[in-house]
Each structure stands twice: as C-alpha cells, then as structure tokens.
Amino acid sequence: MLDHHDDQATRLPEAVASMVRHVQVDQDPPPAWTVAPRTIADTGLDVSLLLGLLLKAAYLHRSVSLTILMDTLRLPASVVNEIAALGVRERLLEVAHRGASDIDVRFRLTDAGYARAAETIARCSYTGAAPVTLQAYVDAIALHSIHHTSVTQANVASAFQDLVVPGTLLEAIGMALNTARALMIYGPPGSGKTYLAQRLGALLPGAIPVPHAITVAGEIIQVLDPLVHTPLAAGEASAMPRALDRRWVVCHRPVVLTGGELTLSMLDLRYDNASGFYQAPPHMKANNGIYIVDDLGRQMVGVDQLLNRWIVPLDRGIDMFTLHSGVRFSVPFDVWPVFSTNLEPSQLSDDAFLRRLGSKLYVGPLSVDDYREVCLRTAADLGLVCPEPAFDFLLESLHFSSDTPLLACIPRDLLRLVASHLRYHDDAPHVTEEGLCRAWQSYYGLRARPEVSSPVTEHRWPAGHRAAG
C-alpha cells in the first residue's frame, strides 16, 4: 500500500476501495485484535521499531519492571521478553533483578542503552502502545465498514425519543443512514442542525476496534484519541469480541465534529517536528463512524476548495496521505459524512459536489405544536412551571408580533434567562409574561417591550423562506 510512483498511486485507490467493499465478516484467520501476539513475528512489526519503543520506555525509569514494559507497550510478556532479550544481547539492557516468578523481572539500561534511547527519543518521542501495521488497520476498517450498518424505523424512534423532531425528518434521516452516502443538513441558524447531527451517532450499531497507533514506512501515526473514541465500559453489551491484542481498544463508533476552525491542512497528517510522530486527521479518526463538518461556509478556506477536497474520498472510498519522507499511502475513507450549513445548497455553487450527496435535509422552524412541546420539556428540565397563558403570550405577543420564527434553540435560551432571574430574586419558579418579556429583551438586545402593533422588523424571517413544518 506504499507508493513512490504517481502512476501506481492512481491505481491504488480502486484496489483499496474494492477491498473495503467486499471483505467478508467471516474472515479466516480471525481478526488481528482478537488474538494476542505471542512472538515478535506475530506483531507484524520490525524488531528495531519494537526495541526502540522498549528502550524509550526504560529510559523514563532507568530501571524498569517487565510489568511496566508490558503495560506501556500493550504487549504480552512473551513478546516483551523476546524484545528485551535482543536488547541484552546487544548490551543495551541488563537484567537488574529476577524473582521467583517469570513476571518478576526488572531491566536496567546500560550506558550504551541509555545513549541509544536518548538518540531514539530525539528522533521520535512517541512512548506508548506498540503500533499495528497499516494492513491490519485497513482490514479492521473493512470488517466494520459503515456500509455494513443499517437501521430500522424502530431504531430511529428509539434514538430520538427524547427529542422533538418532525416524523418526516426522522424518516429521511433513517433512509439517509442506510445509504451510507453523504448527507447535507441545512436551514436557518438556531434550528438545531448541529445538535441533530451530533445525535446521529446514537443510530450507529455495534462497536469497532481502534488501534492506539499505526506504523507506515517506519513512521508512527497516532490514531486513538480520548476526545473522539469512547471505549466500551466493563460489562457493556456488544456482539464484538474483546480485544485480546491490547494494541487495540474496542470503542463505540466515533462521531467527530469540526466547525469554522477547519482548514485544508487539518485534513492531512499532522507531523510535529518536536515530537517526531504524526497525528491522524479528524476524518481518519472518524473511520467506521460519522464525520460532521459543521457551519459549512464559515471556514477560512473557500467553500469550493473545501468541497473539492472531499470529491475523491466520496467517490472512491479512500484518501491519500504523504509522509514528510515522500512516501504516499492510502487509507479507507469509511465514514458517514454529514455537512451542516446555514446556506441553501444552491448557494454552494459546486454542482460536482452536490451530485455526490446522497440526501439534503432541511431543518427549519418548528410547528406550533412542536414548539409548545419543546417549551414544556425545557421548563420541566429547568424546574419551571410554564402555564398555557404564558406560552400563548410568548407565541402571540413575542414571536408573531416580531415575525420571529419558532426555532428550536429559543425556548432553552429564553427560559434559562427566566430561571436565572427567578433565582436571583428568590421568586417562585413560575414563568410569567413579565419574565418572558424581560428575557426576550435581554436575548435580542431590545430597549423596549415589543408590542403586537409594533413588530420588531429587524428580526423578520427572510421573505419567501419556507414556513414551519
């Protein structure tokens, strides 16, 4: 999968994509993470890489036990002992203590070993779990491809049972996930697009193995990210076997979100000159899960440039990366891409990209009934009592008089202000017309109470836009 020649690189994506689509779940031999390696050969790694990792771990302690080395490298005793034996033969390590049990062993760096470890750390400071091979990573992604997932109407209803979402929108979401093609969610700011996109992760069934790191051409790329990957809790139900190879962690399918801060450089491998190893880009960390690009159109990079970056991955199911050494390699692009934007799809002016989107879902203002339900649930969450007359006042005298759309974000934002004022004055937790009016003025920065006869036209919904549904 490594490549130094452009003519070969153009052929690689199709081969990788084909492998991802057609790999069988009942592979033989069994998946790598379900079998603990017993020898250096079983790890698939170069012995010099493993020896370097062991020396760096020992460098932090000068004298280190076999147990600590096993926990640091996430390798069993038999493999660590084999690596350490090589270090002893090369006079980089020596046995400082050997107890009655095989596990009671302590190693110490020699002067030559200390110098070698310092030199290795200067080149690459990565000290942790031994990586897995690129091929093992590709096989794992293929085996748990997002294309193997599917949901039913009952799954969708269960995942969104605590949210107020129009039934037609839920239907569209379920069908979009079953295609595993890119999804665009668009609509006005505050309609709940981002929150809805993040909740899509609850629909993804099953768990996936995630390696701490992978190695490509002797370089280390860190993949596991505690901010992205959530390991299965002890006793949590899963049809997937636990990872016996501790270089892998069994996690829930990831949901990765990037917003206005996204740049083109963030979508490439990030090499840190100081540390000497790479961090995987966000969409690579999202493999087998969902990758959300929020606020599309607010990034510093142009929309056309950003969307063009996704055309090849969306078409071929792979992405190409280049190491600083010039080595090129491909990784499956096995995510459900979700783009959230305040723009109309026609404003993106990129027909080539829009053709590659499986679905485009509009999330707009709520219906009156749905808005009432959101208000009542929010009031209950905040410990407030919201009588019907107070809601009618919010609807008629505030929303309708100012032509303000019934957006999903407004009830929580307003009622938080109401609750804060009530706590400050130690008043009873009742929503009143006066409290709503005060919160409205604070929320929108108005100087005076909006009257039915005097609409606040500054907040008027754009003419001709779709009505609440």
What is the CATH classification number for the domain harbouring 337? 3.40.50.300
Distance of CA 254 to the CA centre of its chain: 5
Is the confidence at residue 212, as pLDDT, over 70? yes
CB 121 within 8 A of CB 57: no
Q: Which residues pair with 371 in a beta bridge?
A: none
Q: Which residue has the higher pLDDT, 468 or 196?
A: 196
What is the rounded distance in angstroms from the CA atom of residue 73 to the CA atom of residue 80?
A: 8
Residues 263, 394: one domain?
no
What is the rounded distance in angstroms from the CA atom of residue 118 to the CA atom of residue 291?
A: 39
Residues 412, 263: one domain?
no
pLDDT at 80: 96
Residues 111, 72: one domain?
yes
Q: Domain range for residue 400?
A: 368-459
Which of 347, 362, 377 is the endpoint of a domain? 362
Share of the chain above pLDDT 70, in %: 87
Residues 280, 412: one domain?
no
Which of 76, 103, 128 is the endpoint of a domain? 128
What is the rounded distance in angstroms from the CA atom of residue 182 to the CA atom of residue 159?
A: 20
Please count the CA atoms within 13 angstroms of the CA of 433 that sit on its side-chain side: 11
Lowest mean pLDDT segment, chosen from 116-125, 219-228, 396-405, 443-452:
443-452
- Among 260, 151, 140, residue whose Cα is nearest residue 200: 151
Is the confidence at residue 172, as pLDDT, over 50? yes
Q: What is the mean pLDDT of the chain?
A: 84
Based on the number of CB atoms within 10 Å of its own CB, is 189 exposed (0-12), middle (13-18) or buried (19 or more)?
exposed
What is the rounded distance in angstroms from the CA atom of residue 77 to the CA atom of residue 197?
A: 44
The DSSP 8-state label assigned to residue 58 in this structure reads H
Question: Taking residues 297-315, what's their average pLDDT?
Answer: 81
Q: Is residue 21 part of a domain?
A: no
Residues 294, 170: one domain?
yes
DSSP 3-state of 341: strand
Residues 256, 332: one domain?
yes
Residues 312, 229: one domain?
yes
Of the pLDDT bands very low, low, confident and very high (cuts 50, 70, 90), residue 237 is: low
Which of 334, 362, 390 is the endpoint of a domain? 362
DSSP 3-state of 277: coil
Q: Is residue 465 part of a domain?
A: no
Token pair, residue 218, equals 């002797």
Q: Is residue 20 part of a domain?
A: no
Token pair, residue 237, equals 């139900």
CB 61 within 8 A of CB 81: no
Residues 110, 205: one domain?
no
What is the rounded distance in angstroms from the CA atom of residue 107 to the CA atom of residue 96?
A: 5
Q: What is the CATH number of the domain that holds 454?
A: 1.10.8
Lowest mean pLDDT segment, chosen from 107-121, 140-154, 435-449:
435-449
Residues 364-378 pLDDT 10s: 899 999 999 999 999
Share of the chain above pLDDT 90, in %: 54
Distances (CA, A) of 323 to 214, 275, 276, 327: 13, 15, 12, 5
Q: What is the CATH number of the domain that holds 99?
A: 1.10.10.10
Q: Is residue 6 part of a domain?
A: no
What is the rounded distance in angstroms from the CA atom of residue 120 to the CA atom of residue 59?
A: 10
Residues 349, 442: one domain?
no
Strands laid side by side in the 63-65 sheet: 63-65, 105-109, 93-98
pTM confidence score: 0.81
pLDDT at 460: 37
pLDDT at 463: 37
Question: Taking residues 2-6, what's their average pLDDT?
Answer: 46
Residues 254, 299: one domain?
yes
Q: What is the separation, in whole angstroms, between the first and last Cα of the chain?
A: 50
Of the pLDDT bands very low, low, confident and very high (cuts 50, 70, 90), residue 344 is: confident
Q: Is residue 34 part of a domain?
A: no
- Among 226, 254, 229, 357, residue whose Cα is nearest residue 296: 357
Burial readout 132-154 (b: 16 or more C-beta within 10 A, e: otherwise): bbbebbbbbbbbbbbeebebeee
Residues 23-82 pLDDT 10s: 444 445 678 778 899 999 999 999 999 999 999 999 988 789 999 999 999 999 999 999
Is the confidence at residue 1, as pLDDT, over 80? no
Token pair, residue 395, equals 């609807």
Is the confidence at residue 457, as pLDDT, over 80? no
**What's the domain count of the chain?**
3
Q: Which residue has the higher pLDDT, 265 or 5?
A: 265
DSSP letter string over 379-432?
HHHTT-B--HHHHHHIIIIIIIHHT----THHHHHHHHHHHHHHHHTT--SB--
- Among 304, 266, 296, residue whose Cα is nearest residue 282: 266
Is the confidence at residue 192, as pLDDT, over 60? yes
Q: Is residue 377 part of a domain?
A: yes
What is the rounded distance in angstroms from the CA atom of residue 265 to the CA atom of residue 359?
A: 27
Lowest mean pLDDT segment, chosen from 34-38, 166-170, 210-214, 315-319:
166-170
CB atoms near residue 423 (< 10 Å)? 11
CB 50 within 8 A of CB 83: yes
Token pair, residue 359, equals 């679905």
What are residue 375's phi and psi, to 5 degrees?
-60, -45
Of the pLDDT bands very low, low, confident and very high (cuts 50, 70, 90), residue 276 is: very high
Token pair, residue 217, equals 């051409």
Q: Is residue 223 part of a domain?
A: yes
Dihedral over Cα of 232, 238, 242, 247: its sign: negative
Residues 325, 251: one domain?
yes
CB 211 within 8 A of CB 223: yes
Q: Is residue 22 part of a domain?
A: no
Residues 337, 387: one domain?
no
What is the rounded distance in angstroms from the CA atom of residue 366 to the CA atom of residue 405?
A: 8
